[in-house]
Structure 1
Amino acid sequence: MTSPLYSASVPVFLHYLDRMDGMVRQTAGREHFLQARIAPDMFTAAQQVATATGFALRVAFPLAGREVPKLADHGMDRIGLGRLMVEARQGLQGLDPTEFAEAHTRLIRHRAGFAELDQTGADFLHLFGMPNFLFHASMAFAVLRQQGLPIGKADFDGLHDYPPGFRF
């Protein structure tokens, strides 16, 4: 039986990394969209993508009882972000589901901004890791959409289906 925390993390991260990769690919010819931000003190769309990508590894690897691998700096353009997401997906695909067997009770010490936290694997995933991953993925979507990239909910989750041109 696959660990519930494996099922709730690695496949979800892989799915949404694919979704973000699709949105970043759509910036071809409009790469300046990646340097936009919603507010002056927020990350750019590119940094939101990179941060979400890093969170996928920052969460999954400790749940598996492993050190978080350092991702290479591929740059913050469309091509570099694509390479970053490929590298992250390969790392996630290399995790064995059996490594997550005791993840729910594993104590994970980590930083949240300036706070030092100790959380069980279950709390780490559900209260910290997944919300942060989805926050940064959502912010990347919001910036790109605000810039005029023709994306919608179906692009974000890959599940919805709407008529051409329908957006909300």
Structure 2
Amino acid sequence: MSLSLYDTTIGSSTKALTALLSLLKKAQEHPEAATIPETRIHEDMLPFKFQVLTVSNFAKKAVERLAGRELEAWADEESTLEELIARVEKTLALLATVKPEDLQEKEQAIHWGKQLLGTCSTSQYALDYMLPNMYFHLTTAYDILRMKGLTIGKKDYIKPFVGGFLALSD
């Protein structure tokens, strides 16, 4: 089996967002659920809601960049768990509209904010920029939830990734 660009980007993003959605739904049950969106691991780090929005944005950006779609801007104003859940569901619905044949290999411009850092191939973009960033923010969201005392474990994070070939019970 060889990995396709679709599996690497849209498939991985779908699994990451599925894991995030499950974590968000568990967070709703926490006694301090209303405080979670603004929770930070450290004062100089961005809050939980930013982590969720960034995972969503990397998945959305993959559709824009790799499928060549121009999508409307999303406001990034979600501030409650319910709104963050809706955002993740919206992103999953967008990913479901992409087919493998929609993706194109082309040169990708990489920006840090407004600053152009350079260019790379689509494969380099996916493997060396998009996926590491998406997983970083997914892991940070997971870590914030653990810090808040949610009863979650590695299975909650990894199950959407390995559920197709490993039998993990809840």
What corresponds to 2:57 in structure 1?
Answer: 54
What corresponds to 2:32 in structure 1?
Answer: 30
What corresponds to 2:110 in structure 1?
Answer: 110
Q: CA deviation at 1:157?
A: 1.2
Aligned positions, number: 159
Letter in structure 2 aligned against 1:80: E
Give me the TM-score of the superposition, normalised by structure 1: 0.85
SS in 1 for 2:40: coil
Computed over aligned residues only, the root mean square deviation of the Cα atoms, in angstroms, reads: 2.2
Match of 1:96 among 95, 99, 106: 99
SS in 2 for 1:9: helix
Q: CA deviation at 1:127?
A: 0.6
Percentage of pairs with the same residue: 23
What corresponds to 2:148 in structure 1?
Answer: 147
Q: Using the TM superposition, name which of 51-60 and 141-150 deviates more.
A: 51-60
What corresponds to 1:120 in structure 2?
Answer: 121
Give me the TM-score of the superposition, normalised by structure 2: 0.84
Structure 2: state its 5+ residue gaps.
none
Structure 1: state its 5+ residue gaps.
none
